Amino acid sequence: MMARRVSFLYPTGDTIVAQATASGRAAVAMVRLSGPGVGTLLRGAVVPWRGESVRRLWLAEYRAEGEGVLDQVVAVYFKAPRSYTGEDVAELTCHGSPVIVDRLIRDCVARGARLAEPGEFTFRAFLNGKMDLCQAEAVRELVESQTWGQAIGAQRALRGSLKGRLEAVREKVVDVLVELESRIEFANEDLPVVEACELSVALEQVERELGGWIESYEKARLIREGVRVVLAGRPNVGKSSLFNRLLDEERAIVTSVPGTTRDCLREWVDFGGIRVCLIDTAGVRSTWEDVERLGVERAEREIEEADLVLFILDASLPAGSEDERGWRLIEDRPHVVVVNKIDKGWEEGQPPWVCELRDRAVKVSARTGEGIEKLKEIVSGLAVPGGPQEVESPAVTSLRQSVCVEHALDAVRTGRVGLRGGVSEEYVAEVLRGALSALGELVGETTSDEILRGIFSKFCIGK
Ligand code: GDP
């Protein structure tokens, strides 16, 4: 891979040092150094220094300047460019006492190293072409992964699963661009020209591929971040009771006075391997009571952001205008109609819109627990059809990456529509150059320092 252009984000060319293992007491700790000065710097400290036998572990003493032996260390030395960062790298494993680690790092600094910034090792790896930006992001995802699924996804991304697919897409766009540019250049000559139709077919393929990346990112998002499920319905239909039932605990306060849940409560639960964030909203109804109105606004916002809304009706009472208002708010969103309190029997005097919903509603009783398991199954099935194992590993794994792909997709689409509509070749070529630049940004070739800072500053120190 090509090394990236020089960045002014962090100073390069000096030698950095940091503890790579977690801080605190442990059996061992590892201190990592990277930069052109590593060999010279450690020659006097690590005794014996065996820098010539690269990639081999050796046992040595670490001798601090003016202090004598600090600790026994296991050292390993990687010579540039065959190291994590692409520079000379040493890793010293010492006993895991914070005092020793602190002294050892201070001594490295006294000998000319600088304390590394968060993510600076990975940043250097990226600068030196050891990995692209997507892989650098995968390193962080892997370190931070909390579920096995997240770890697997990050490992795939780290192995560079995007690279090949990206190159194929770029090639197609470049081919079209080359054709357009030669038409522009040789406009007056009689060269065989590839039909506009053929070019737009190639762009259509690119659109399909990029569209697929965005779609798979969206699907995987539900696994990665969990599914937001909002319980909505007028006060007293039993939202809080249902919330507790679904959580198997008494989390929300349940009373028979309408409007007691004035804020939104949220809890994470596991429905069949899917992480679900359950959100209990304040009743959706118009009210002039200030505190409650705030709660209602919040509820409406939650509903707008939800992946799925459980719209709850009371089986034992005829639905009123508040229920209907709530229904109109959510009917066009992904939802499940839940009829609660079936232990109290079905009220026959329901308005027609409720009668229409009755057949497809899930009937439950928060009081007795009837229908609750079925409701859980329906929620997880709707959120992630087929369960977590069915979700293919996405090509792009972060919002940043997905936004770059969206920009590229927009540009390619604009280009194709332009070609079909007969707009000037110069214009289409310009638009397609924009698509290539968005794809370059995706892997970090043309990414601004500001964005890079945003990415690398989220790393832990020592990575
Ligand atoms: P919310 O205002 O929608 O959150 O409703 P709550 O959960 O506070 O419940 C309102 C009232 O309905 C309380 O007195 C609950 O005990 C009662 N309730 C909730 N679910 C059921 C149910 O399935 N059956 C019966 N019989 N009562 C219920």
Tokens 């006492």 — which residue?
97
State the average pLDDT for the chain.
86
Report whether pLDDT(309) > 50: yes
Residues in the chain: 463
Q: Which of 246, 249, 251, 254 to mutate to test the pocket of ligand 1 (most atoms within 8 A of CB)?
A: 254
| Percent of the chain predicted with pLDDT > 70 | 87
Query: For the ranges 19-33, 60-74, 278-292, which has the lowest average pLDDT?
Result: 278-292
- CA 368 to ligand 1: nearest atom: 23
* 36 compared with 444, residue with greater pLDDT: 36
Indicate which residue's Cα is closest to atom 19 of ligand 1.
238
pLDDT above 70 for 261? no
For residue 446, what are the CA distances in angstroms to 103, 194, 230? 40, 30, 40
pLDDT band at residue 187 using 50, 70 and 90 as cut-offs: confident
Q: Which residues contact 429 (CB under 8 A, 6 or more apart)?
A: 177, 180, 181, 184
Give the pLDDT band of residue 254 (cuts 50, 70, 90).
Answer: low
Which atom of ligand 1 is least distant from the CA of 312?
3
Would you list the DSSP string of 331-391?
Answer: TTSSEEEEEE-GGG---S---HHHHHHHTTSEE--TTT-TTHHHHHHHHHHHHSTT-GGGS
* Res 196: pLDDT: 77
The pLDDT assigned to 372 comes to 95
Specify the ligand 1 atom closest to the Cα of 254: 8
The whole-angstrom separation of Cα 53 and Cα 42 is: 14
Quote the distance between the C-alpha of residue 449 and its chain's center.
20
Centre of ligand 1 from the C-alpha of residue 236, in Å: 6
DSSP 24-44: S--SEEEEEEESTTHHHHHHT
Instruction: Answer whether 256 contacts ligand 1 (Cβ < 6 A).
Output: yes
* C-beta 285 within 6 A of ligand 1: no
For residue 16 and ligand 1, the question of a CB distance below 6 A is answered with no
Cα distances (angstroms) measured from residue 6 to each of 9, 163, 341, 449: 9, 22, 66, 10
Whether 235 is in the pocket of ligand 1, judged by its Cβ within 6 Å, is yes
Cβ 240 under 6 angstroms from ligand 1: yes
d(CA 287, CA 301): 16
Calculate mean pLDDT across residues 119-128.
94
Rounded distance between C-alpha atoms, residue 424 and residue 158, angstroms: 41
Regarding the beta carbon of 414 and ligand 1, being less than 6 Å apart is answered no
Other C-beta atoms closer than 10 Å to the C-beta of 416 total 23
Q: Which residue has the higher pLDDT, 255 or 163?
A: 163
Q: Is 281 in the pocket of ligand 1 (CB under 6 A)?
A: no
Is the CB of 401 inside a 6 Å radius of any atom of ligand 1? Answer: no
What average pLDDT does this structure show over 440-452?
Answer: 85
From 241, 260, 265, give the residue whose CB has the most ligand 1 atoms within 8 Å, as the site to mutate: 241
Nearest CA to ligand 1 atom 25: 341
Nearest to 392 by CA among 215, 191, 137, 174: 215
Ligand 1 binding pocket includes 341 (Cβ within 6 Å)? yes
Q: Any idea of the CA torsion for 322, 323, 324, 329, to the nearest 10 degrees?
A: 90
Please work out whether the CB of residue 135 comes within 6 Å of at least one atom of ligand 1: no
Question: 222 Cβ partners below 8 Å, 6+ apart?
Answer: 274, 307, 383, 384, 391
Lowest mean pLDDT among 141-150, 246-255, 344-353, 362-371: 246-255
What is the predicted pLDDT for the residue at 64? Answer: 96
261 lines ligand 1 (CB under 6 A): yes
pLDDT grade for 263, boundaries at 50, 70 and 90: low
Q: State mean pLDDT over 425-450.
A: 90
- Indicate which atom in ligand 1 lies nearest the CA of residue 235: 2
Alpha carbon nearest to ligand 1 atom 10, residue: 236
Q: Which atom of ligand 1 is nearest to the CA of 258?
A: 2
CA of 282 to the centre of ligand 1 (A): 14
Query: Does residue 348 register a pLDDT over 80?
Result: yes
Residue 383: pLDDT band (50, 70, 90) is confident
User: What confidence category does residue 177 fall into, taking pLDDT thresholds of 50, 70 and 90?
Assistant: very high
- Each residue's pLDDT tens digit, 408-420: 999 999 999 999 8
Which pLDDT score is estimated for 209?
95
Decide which of 367 and 234 is more confident: 367
CA distance 392 to 385: 12
Span of 107-111, 253-257, 267-271, 436-440 with lowest mean pLDDT: 253-257
For atom 18 of ligand 1, which residue has the closest CA? Answer: 238
Rounded to whole angstroms, how far apart are CA atoms 121 and 84?
A: 8
d(CA 227, ligand 1 centre) in Å: 25
| More confidently predicted of 39 and 223 | 39
Confirm or reject: Cβ of 369 under 6 Å from ligand 1: no
